[in-house]
Chain A
Amino acid sequence: MNQKRKGKMHSILKGLAVLLFWLAVWALIAHVVNKELIFPVPQEVVKRFFIIIFTAEFWQITFASLLRILVGFTCGMVAGILLAMLMHANRFAEALLAPLIKVVRATPVVSFIILALFWIVASSLPIFISFLMVLPVAWANTLSGIENTDRHLLEMASLYKVKKLRIWQKIYYPSLKPYLLAAINSGLGLAWKSGITAEVIAAPRMAIGSQLQAAKVNLESADTFVWTVVVVVLSIILEKLITALINRRQMRSLSEEKS
């Protein structure tokens, strides 16, 4: 127990040292550049950060962006998984849809944002863009997971006439788990980046991206830094939260299995 606490303390101290090092690098660059407008000093950004986060508007904006991106991410994951299942079951569907998904994957996100601006209202655009970026990731990972499921287990289940739903539940789903986790991890990062980019371009009301754009227009580089830090911190928190949730679920199902 003591050893564990020591290890935790050690990693916190290490993290702090790394943070201090990069803050020093930042301060040094700001000192060399010596232009607040181009590269603000860390103290100014920290000051603005504490001013911004203690406003009610900050929380409304952050919540609105978070909600949009989470909706897009969830829809993208669900659609990607369902498409992969459909394409695995039906070769015609695979032939029909695979090229479309590959095109979506290869197209730059900015092209979609500009195109979609004609079709979708600004506030829904980040949802659509996050959805579009996550879908191919979820699709590709699910399909790999299905294709790498142990054939021997599937043969055994088919010989014993195990019901289709139970085969999905007992064989496919556990095999798919690591692939889905990988999709969640990379999909979440993509959803954030593309969603915020869409907000910068579409500038909906109450959005982190719009705040970034406004800070740029008003030449408030400290605010641009603050909102960027917010995006990075939220992205890390969200990723950790989802990983912790999945791990908790895994632990629970393992203990249920044991009992």
Chain B
Amino acid sequence: MTIVIDKLSISFEGKQVLKDFSFSLPASGVVCIFGPSGCGKTVLFKCLSGLIKPDSGEISGLKSKRLSMVFQENRLLPWCNAVDNVALVVNENRELARAALTKMELTSETNKLPAEMSGGMQRRVAIARAIVYDGDLLLLDEPTTGLDAELADRIMKILIKSWQSRLVLLITHELTIAKKYADIIYTVEGPPLQIKNVSE
């Protein structure tokens, strides 16, 4: 079932970020939204995830879906180690959490607190938390921030593989990542957000 965004309007922090924005998403595959910072991509994500309520318009096909997300910021609990941060979203199942961290090449960091890890490691813990959650839609907001090109490539492969046959919505400003992993690429400008399919 596809997700349809119909005439969505949102004002955020005094700015009209979305104005009568319409857009539809397929049931599966990797859809990339590529564009400069500050044009309203993250606000669109927050609206899709239900963290911001739109002023008008509606989104259909999303109600029954379980969402997983890699936020722009890592949003890790500073007082919990890597395993507990990941296990939080799977009913404290530490085995699943450890397996996800292993996929993220963090086997020896599982007991470390976020403050004891580098920015790149923290990012991978946030990604592990997203892939361990059994969702229908994965929202990725600049997932490879803080990772070097080689590691970013490996992590993206694992991410896409673990979300096979489900929908991944990816925000990035790295064209190489967009071209390599996305089935559909949209470029955006704004605010207010305007979208264009450039997959061809």
CB-based nearest A residue for B126: A156
A257–B79 contact, CB under 8 A?
A: yes
Question: How far apart sit A63 and B68, CA to CA, in the bound complex (Å)?
Answer: 56
The answer to whether A160 and B88 touch across the interface, beta carbons within 8 angstroms, is: yes
Check B71–A156 contact: CB distance below 8 A.
Answer: yes
If A152-B75, A156-B71 touch, whether A162 touches B88 (CB-CB below 8 Å) is yes
Chain A proximity of B108: nearest CB distance (Å): 14
Whether A258 sits at the interface, judged by CB under 8 Å, is yes
- A170 and B80 within 8 A (CB): yes
Query: Is B34's beta carbon under 8 Å from chain A?
Result: no
Would you call B111 and A259 a contact (CB within 8 A)? yes
Q: How many A-B residue pairs have CB under 8 A?
A: 43
A157–B88 contact, CB under 8 A? yes
Q: Of A152, A157, A159, A258, which one neighbours B73 at CB under 8 angstroms? A: A152
8 A Cβ contacts from A147-189 to B: 152-153, 155-162, 166, 170-171, 174
Hey, which chain B residues are within 8 Å of A160, CB to CB? 68, 88-89, 129, 133
In the complex, A174→B76 CA distance in Å?
13
Judge whether A159 and B77 touch: CB under 8 Å. no
Contact pick for A170, options B77, B111, B129, CB 8 Å: B77
Which of A155, A166, A174, A258 has the most B CB atoms < 10 Å from its CB?
A155
Residue among B69, B71, B89, B92 with the highest chain A CB neighbour number at 10 A: B89
Is the pair B51, A171 in contact by a Cβ cutoff of 8 Å?
A: no
CB-defined interface of A221-259 with B at 8 Å, one 1/0 digit per residue? 000000000000000000000000000000000000111
Instruction: Answer yes or no: B81 CB below 8 A from chain A CBs.
Output: yes
Say yes or no: A153-B133 contact (C-beta < 8 A), given A159-B69, A257-B80.
no
Residue-wise interface mask of B (60-81) relative to A, using a CB-CB cutoff of 8 A (1 in contact, 0 not): 0000001111010101010111
Of B51, B80, B81, B111, the contact of A159 (CB 8 Å cutoff)? B51
Contact A155 B51 (CB under 8 A): yes
* Assembled-state Cα–Cα distance A166/B90 (Å): 11
> Is there contact, CB below 8 Å, between B71 and A152?
yes
Q: Are A156 and B75 in contact (CB under 8 A)?
A: yes
**B77 touching A258, Cβ below 8 Å:** no
Q: Which of B50, B75, B79, B92 contacts A174 (CB 8 A)?
A: B79
Chain B residues near A159 (CB, 8 Å)?
Answer: 49-51, 67-69
Q: Is the CB of A174 within 8 A of B77?
A: yes
In the bound complex, CA of A174 to CA of B88 (Å): 14
Residues of B within 8 A of A259 (CB): 111
Find the residue from B69, B71, B77, B92 having the highest chain A CB count within 10 A: B77
Q: How far is the CB of A166 from chain B (nearest CB, A)?
A: 7
Contacts of A155 in B (CB 8 A): 51, 75
| CB nearest to A163 among chain B residues | B91
* Contact status B81-A258, CB under 8 Å: yes
A158 to B129, CA, bound (A): 14
B81 cross-chain contacts in A, Cβ below 8 A? 257-258
Q: A158-B51, A161-B66 are in contact. List 7 more A-B contacts (CB 8 A).
A: A152-B71, A152-B75, A159-B51, A159-B68, A162-B89, A174-B77, A257-B79
Q: B residues touching A (Cβ–Cβ < 8 Å)?
A: 49-51, 66-69, 71, 73, 75, 77, 79-81, 84, 88-89, 92, 111, 113, 129, 133
13 residue pairs A–B, Cβ–Cβ below 8 Å: A152-B71, A153-B75, A158-B51, A159-B50, A159-B69, A160-B88, A160-B133, A170-B77, A170-B80, A171-B77, A257-B80, A257-B84, A258-B111
